[in-house]
A and B are shown apart, each in its own frame.
Chain A
Amino acid sequence: ALVFNDPDFQHEDLNFLSRSERYEQAVRKSALMVMKLREYGIADPEEIYWFKSFVHRGRPEPLDLHLGMFLPTLLTQATPEQQDRFFMPAWNLEIIGTYAQTEMGHGTHLRGLETTATYDPATQEFILNSPTVTSIKWWPGGLGKTSNYAIVLAQLYTQGQCKGLHAFIVPIRQLGTHEPLPGITVGDIGPKFGYDEMDNGYLKMDNFRIPRENMLMKYAQVEPDGTYVKPLSDKLTYGTMVFIRSLIVGDAARSLSRACTIAIRYSAVRHQSELKPGEPEPQILDYQTQQYKLFPLLATAYAFHFVGAYIKDTYSRVSSDINEGNLSELPELHALTAGLKAFTSWTASAGIEECRMACGGHGYSRCSGIPDIYVTFTPSCTYEGENTVMMLQTARFLVKSYNQVSSGQRVTGMVSYLNDLSRQRIQPQHVAARTVTVPINDPVSLVEAYKARAARLVEAAAKNLQAELNHRKSKEDAWNRTSVDLVRASEAHCHYVIAKLFTAKLSEISNAAVRAVMTELCLLYALYGISKNTGDFLQAGILTDAQITQVNHRVKELLAVIRPNAVALVDSFDFHDVHLGSVLGRYDGNVYENMFEWAKKSPLNKTEVHESFHKHLKPMQAKL
């Protein structure tokens, strides 16, 4: 309310503004936000996060990278001397920075980045170059127009050798005039699918020199004579990646929750057709097909909330271990978050679209707010690690764990089910034998079914990989030829983890009514997942035909059970109307009159007779 009621943060509906105007509004609000944060003395990261998300209503803004990447990177990777030089100016926004990693030619595959930083001992400087078109930095947020500094990732060359990627603090615009510095070409990459307010930019460097002290040297170092000093561990960078990917999981939950809120409220307001002859038109939420589109997504949104919270907790626990020098849990967490980032962002992205479709034609209007949620969220399938690559990282860990088990070692954590696989091989009893009696109303048993599916698919992928290797293929070739199987195995693993975490959450709920409704949602989540992947469960003999029929039937029963609570379940997400930004999803449900009010403000309606009439229509009519 501090933000929503502040007149300084008000502006015209963003849907009616041009890209340039949206950028301008975002910068205005960001500048104001920074002033107010200082004025109110807000410094706690969590509080800053919420303040920011209310100011920008969950949208990206040009200072995101400054606050989210530039400052934290200085904190974690700069030496104390460097912090003295850069941190306070950056904190005071004399320096606005961004984080320039991705290039036109390379994204997720970091080793392929081509920007070079060559050390010149004569002047004790690094010479930065973008040697090819593909090496131009491309996409970093805030780079195009806003930032005057960037942390640039480049291949370090010293004493004639390439030492791999390192980070450098690079000034790009003149303090005072904001003009690009000589040797720097910088600009905006043009319009995108969403992110209108963000000046994602390009950066080309030609023999641009920076002092030696501008390399971030807390870990790796280059001495004045050019001697390279290696960092202690390269696993440390995992930590940041895990953290950011955990944020994406939370974002997946929130974005899907917003879309569900809009679609479910609107479906309660919209009346259409007839269910019973002679009766008034029913709410579209009473149609089974509509429930079948929306309620599994609602359950998914809840599931992802719990997963997001779990990763965040695990991360803070593991990172305190890391500070004590214990890195043992990091690989699994890293592998797990990669897969969960991919799984949740894919699912949420598709789910948001499903919500939009469920709103029919009006979902397609920007006033529904869903197109905006979609374009803002869906790039997370690509950034911070392309999803397929992420799934394959998880798969690498799964195969490694499987091989450990095969060679007699035990594995721990979320993959410990693989230990059972070896036991089953000893007793020639089929996986199915244990689970034929899966009681489909018990979440815990369903989690067992998911576990069996994951085990089976991991095993199948590992065996196929081995078979390819036996065909005297190179390791890489064999991996590539198995990658579709490997992705499936990762997906099954993630699906199991999510079902497990959701189920585990139920026992923590003390309020009986809340627990009851959460149990229904959890069941729906688990059963719907089975009904969408029946092939896996049938083929592995985990469930029988008859059970699948039961599962399908039970899913539809649950839809009817959840129906009365549907609106309450989205109200619980507690999105303020301003934050939701949707005419269809308004809390008061006064949809149609407000759509009309909204449309009247459209730019095409600024004049009653559009200028095209005088320019084109009238002359044509006169001529024909």
Chain B
Amino acid sequence: SVNPDLASERQTASFSVEKLTAWLDGGVELTRIRRAVVEAIECDPVFSRENQYFQSQNERYEAAVRKAVHLQKKMHEMGWTEDGPEFKYIYRALSGDIAFLLHRIFMRSISVLGSDKQIAKWIPLASQFQLIGSYAQTELGHGTYLQGLETTAVFDIATQEFILNTPKISAMKWWPGDMGRSATHTVVFAQLYIHGKCYGMHPFIVQIRSLQDHSLCPGIIAGDIGPKMSFEHIDNGYLMLQNVRVPRENMLNKFCEVQPDGTYARRGSQQINYFTMTTVRISLISDEVIIPLMKACTIAVRYSVVRRQSKLKPGEEEAKILDYQTQQEKLLPQLAAAYAFHFINNYLQELFEKGYREVQRKNFDTLPELHAFSSGFKAMVSQYCTSAVEICLRACGGHGYSLLSGLPSLYTKILASCIYEGENTVLLLQAARFLNKCFVAASAGRPVPPSVTYLAAVKPGKCPANNKSDFLSPDIYTEAYQHTAVRLVSSTAAKLQDLIQSGVKKHDAWNQCTVQLVQAAKAHCHYITVKNFAETVEKLETEAGIQKVMKHLCDLFALHGIFSNAGVFLHDGYISGAQMDMVTASYLDLLAVIRNDAVPLVDAFDFTDKNLNSALGSYDGQVYQRLYEWAQKSPTNTQVNPAYEKYLKPLLHNMRSKI
């Protein structure tokens, strides 16, 4: 039975949860497919995550491999294919708790970077799992800065082979997933040398383990990099290469080739290569960043209406903690952010599909913009969502720290997204570089991509709001965000210019402005997110109830941003002190309004209990009962206390005689 405290929240929903779910999924049909996939996965005991919180790293790894192997069978059974509509829901249904993700990256890199001949040779082997692939780029000494990688591949004309080496310890490949224990092959990125001349980074297919007995190949040292904050199920690995020889054909050569005589030939544009990197950044936003935040919100919001603590009015029963303004102020902005980012993700997906079509037509004009978008948004969204998940964790008091709440593992997993696929600060600076360039171009009257034309339309002035309800107008707050983004981009550009004119070298000037540049890039992304949210609500054609609650969330997201970054908006007087008080008032009013729909709004994310895997967040709200039951399953309770006989007993009995 459902806890009455949770049931009552559902009775007062101002909109249809089912309709909102369908809209979030992109239609009723997609909801149906998603649920069918989830159902198929969850009823299969091999995919169970029931004991996940009690398992060791070795057990987690083994389970992930078992699941990956089983998934092949399952897909075949269910008739799911990689390009079918079900595929994208599988990962969500598994909560990513599965091995061989890098195997896919291995295949993708061959498809993108390999010649037709290479594709024909390797892809069938990989899709049949006759080999297991990984993707070895990052090294101990270098990550995001790819030019700094130190692994070498020297072409030997005599044997028509490349000789791969790890010349020093910092050049060891470090972190690639599936490589520590599973992979038999990997794509190694190395500096190509021909006749002593370096041609930069190139990809090589290298076999690292025997296909017979899985032992390491000669010249290969590989293993697991040891425990991490999360990802216990993945064998992130290290790899050291000592004079490992691979045939000339193993360099992926769609874009450049080393000919038998050592001639280096480039063909086609490598820009498409960058496009792959940018699409990976965009594709991770949904599964690795937004979904964890939605889960965290679901857990924290449901728990906050079940948990009662202290009294709001004397003589009444204890209040639900979600009725406290401070609790609302912690959780509801995060809920609004989950929606905001869901919509910005839709927007980015569309933008990239369009970009992809252009690229296929060999039109690379949009690439710089797409690259800047993917860098900026990956960084901004992952950073925002990571701290949002942490806020949710903290908002659940002591029980949030229990692994059984599900929140610690969501947090430790999402926070890795701030680093992989490009460290966030570096990515924000890449976005800033683009913005700065566009601003300079726009100021000089040159054309700029549509997403940044706003930079040229400088409209100095003041925010026209007269009372607090004016701040519920999307025009008013979107304008404020735009103004702030322009101000930050332009003032940084001006400072950069000043420094250079005063004789500071260009790179020094850049470094001296980086803190501001990062701020400007974030402001730009924040502006686009608010604008997109407002436009999405505007265009929304569904029942009035949904439109209304989405409008509230949009207002909350926008005003929370102004409230939390007040200084930036006050700085040039665009928003006055009195107006800032109106923002605060409007913002706090909204909390109480959205409070009433908080549970239906998280229900609409439609996570099953098994998927949430949380004692605090289940649909029925039987929090305490479940916590107690789950704790009893812990090995610390089911196994003999290892310390009693050995240490406690002697301590308890012998102390007196020792003294």
Contacts and interface: CB of A to CB of B under 8 A. Distances in A.
Interface of A: 15-16, 18-21, 23-24, 27-28, 30-31, 34-35, 38, 62, 92-94, 96, 102, 104-109, 111-112, 133-134, 136, 138-139, 144-146, 148, 175, 178, 187-195, 199, 202, 270-277, 281, 286-289, 292-293, 353, 357, 360-367, 371, 378-379, 381-383, 386-388, 392, 474, 476-477, 480-484, 487, 533-541, 545, 548, 552, 556, 592-593, 595-596, 598-605, 608-613, 615-621, 624
B403 A193 contact: yes
Interface centre among B401, B415, B507, B637 (most CB of A within 10 A): B401
9 contacts: A35-B658, A175-B652, A190-B630, A289-B514, A379-B398, A382-B398, A484-B588, A610-B61, A621-B211
Contact of B627 (A104, A617, A620): A104
Contacts of B323: 480
Contact of A28 (B147, B647, B659): B647
B397 A107 contact: yes
B419 interface: yes
Contact of A360 (B327, B423, B507, B651): B423
B649 A178 contact: yes
B138 A361 contact: yes
B655 A104 contact: no
Given A190-B403, A289-B515, A621-B129, A38 B140 contact: no
A336 B83 CA distance: 61
B263 interface: no
B141 interface: yes
Nearest to A277: B507
A193 B511 contact: no
B214 A617 contact: yes
Given A16-B227, A104-B627, A386-B397, A484 B325 contact: yes
Interface in B506-520: 507-508, 511-516, 518
A193 B323 CA distance: 27
B624 interface: yes
Contacts of B66: 612, 615-616
Contacts of A392: 326
A596 B643 contact: no
B118 interface: no
Given A187-B632, A379-B401, A595-B140, A145 B655 contact: no
B420 A480 contact: no
B312 A271 contact: no
A474 B311 CA distance: 12
B109 to A, nearest CB: 19
Interface residues of B, number: 137
A492 B656 CA distance: 53
A270 B631 CA distance: 43
A428 B132 CA distance: 77
Nearest to B325: A483
Contacts of B512: 288, 556
B228 A96 contact: no
A210 B656 CA distance: 26
Contacts of A15: 226-227
B634 A604 contact: no
Nearest to B175: A361
Nearest to A555: B515
A396 to B, nearest CB: 13
Q: Which 4 A-B pairs have the closest CB atoms?
A: A535-B566, A534-B567, A193-B408, A604-B224
Given A94-B656, A611-B62, A617-B132, A476 B648 contact: no
B403 A191 contact: yes
A136 B181 CA distance: 44
A18 B56 contact: yes
Given A107-B398, A145-B643, A595-B140, A96 B570 contact: no
A277 B655 CA distance: 68
B16 interface: no
B309 interface: yes
B625 A133 contact: yes
Contact of A476 (B54, B57, B313, B326): B313
Contacts of A481: 325, 588
A533 B567 contact: yes
Nearest to A372: B229
Given A202-B628, A541-B577, A596-B169, A604 B648 contact: no
A357 B634 contact: no
A431 B65 CA distance: 66
A203 to B, nearest CB: 12
A282 to B, nearest CB: 9
A620 B567 CA distance: 59
Given A364-B229, A598-B226, A624-B129, A357 B418 contact: yes
A602 B229 contact: no
Given A107-B397, A190-B631, A603-B227, 17 more contacts: A92-B659, A94-B655, A104-B627, A111-B310, A187-B631, A187-B632, A190-B402, A191-B402, A275-B507, A288-B511, A357-B415, A366-B226, A539-B580, A592-B172, A602-B223, A604-B180, A612-B181
Given A109-B310, A600-B223, A617-B214, A287 B143 contact: no
B596 to A, nearest CB: 16
B568 interface: yes
Interface string B180-192: 1110000000000
Contacts of A600: 223
B403 A192 contact: yes
Contacts of A624: 72, 128-130
A145 B580 contact: no
A605 B514 contact: no
A94 B652 contact: yes
Interface centre among A94, A190, A271 (most CB of B within 10 A): A190
A9 B465 CA distance: 67
B310 A545 contact: no
Contacts of A24: 642-643, 646-647
A139 B424 CA distance: 36
A621 B130 contact: yes
B650 interface: yes
Contacts of B327: 388
B577 A105 contact: no
A474 B653 CA distance: 59
Given A388-B326, A539-B577, A534 B568 contact: yes
Nearest to B312: A476
A556 B580 contact: no
B573 interface: yes
Interface string B479-500: 0000000000000000000000
B227 A608 contact: no
Contacts of A34: 651, 655
Contact of B223 (A293, A540, A605): A605
B628 A136 contact: yes
Contact of B577 (A480, A487, A538): A538
A366 B143 contact: no
A190 B54 contact: yes
Contact of A27 (B72, B329, B648): B648
Interface string B115-133: 0000000000000111010
A474 B515 contact: no
Interface centre among B402, B424, B505, B580 (most CB of A within 10 A): B402
Interface in B495-542: 505, 507-508, 511-516, 518
A596 B238 contact: yes
Contacts of B631: 187-190, 202
B157 interface: no
Interface centre among A19, A145, A286, A484 (most CB of B within 10 A): A484
Given A191-B54, A361-B175, A484 B401 contact: no
Given A28-B647, A621-B129, A361 B143 contact: yes
Given A598-B226, A602-B224, A480 B324 contact: yes
A624 B124 CA distance: 11
B318 interface: yes
Interface in B210-251: 211, 213-216, 223-229, 235, 238
